[in-house]
A and B are shown apart, each in its own frame.
Chain A
Amino acid sequence: MPGSERSNEQWLEELSAPGPEQERALADLRAILLAGLRKALAGWVRTSGREFHALAEDFVQETLLRILDSLGSFKGLARFTTWAHKIAIRIALTELRRRRWKDVSLDKVFEDETASMLLEDPAPDPQELADNALSVQWVLRIMAEELTEKQRQAIVAVMHGGLPAEEAARRLGTNRNALYKMIHDARLRLKNRLHREGVSVSQLLEGMGRGKR
């Protein structure tokens, strides 16, 4: 039965038990996912030719295994094929990001001058304190005061180094979800600090823009 004609329940039923029906369903799903990846990965890799076909086959193979392992987790809130495409895209982009960034170490990201500036602990400037001057130095100081070292590293890795979250997470010894929550907590701490100081974002951006350092 063509993939487009199967209901969610039919997909689940046919995939759930080994046999000819499962084989047919897997073959149809494989074709659907391969076609999907051709659209999904446009902009990431050249989506024609033997090289792409081999790559996409690997991704789809892994996707089918993961789907068979997690059929019980499909909630039916979207079409089964949409759920399957989502899994294939996650698998493919995770691997493509890993390949793209494999030669970039965190040490390299942290050692450049911009990163050093963002990670430094600036000493309090009495004049700045007296003036209560909003400035880059002020932002760096509240970052040093409010955030943990790991939070600042996470921010620098993602924002300055441009690392995808899961690549930054891997290098920082955590996972993508935890990294997002770490950075969210950091943003919240900074927001609350601005609020306590009675500083608005527009005031702060204006102060930074005046080039005070």
Chain B
Amino acid sequence: MTDRPGGPERRSWLAKASQRRRKRAALVKGIEELKMLVQATAATEEDEIGCDDAYEALDQFAEMVVRGEDPSTIMPLVQRHLDMCGNCREEFEALLRVLRAS
């Protein structure tokens, strides 16, 4: 076990230890986020639509899901966008809640 100094030296030692812990935590978090990026990269296709096109089709897509159809085969680009875009997926899930309740 490392000898711990007393007084101001101890405070400095503690501050540096805290800084090292923070840097280590930041590194671990950064690595996890990079891994997510690498995984998203692997799932990326050349042909993807943007939020505007997905929004345009969202009502039709949601009704297909509620009817039990498989829109991922009929509208694969919309499905792919919803897989990759959190905001659009939130809106789609909200619309599903509404349609299923009515």
Contact = CB atoms under 8 A, between A and B. Distances in A.
B63 A78 contact: yes
A41 interface: yes
B31 A208 contact: yes
Chain A binding surface SS class: helix
Chain B binding surface SS class: helix
B87 A166 contact: yes
Interface in B1-49: 22-23, 26-27, 29-31, 33-42, 44, 46, 48
A139 B38 contact: yes
A60 B51 CA distance: 22
Interface string A133-172: 0001001100000000000000100011000111000000
A87 B30 CA distance: 36
A117 B97 CA distance: 40
Nearest to B42: A201
Nearest to A83: B59
B95 A188 contact: no
Contacts, number: 127
Contacts of A201: 38-39, 41-42
Which range holds the interface residue count of chain A? 35 or more
B73 interface: no
Most buried by B among A41, A166, A204, A213: A204
Contacts of A113: 22-23, 26
A187 B40 contact: yes
A28 to B, nearest CB: 14
A89 B95 contact: yes
5 closest Cβ pairs, A-B complex = A113-B26, A78-B59, A187-B44, A40-B94, A201-B42
11 contacts: A36-B102, A39-B97, A83-B59, A86-B59, A113-B26, A114-B26, A136-B34, A139-B34, A180-B50, A180-B81, A190-B38
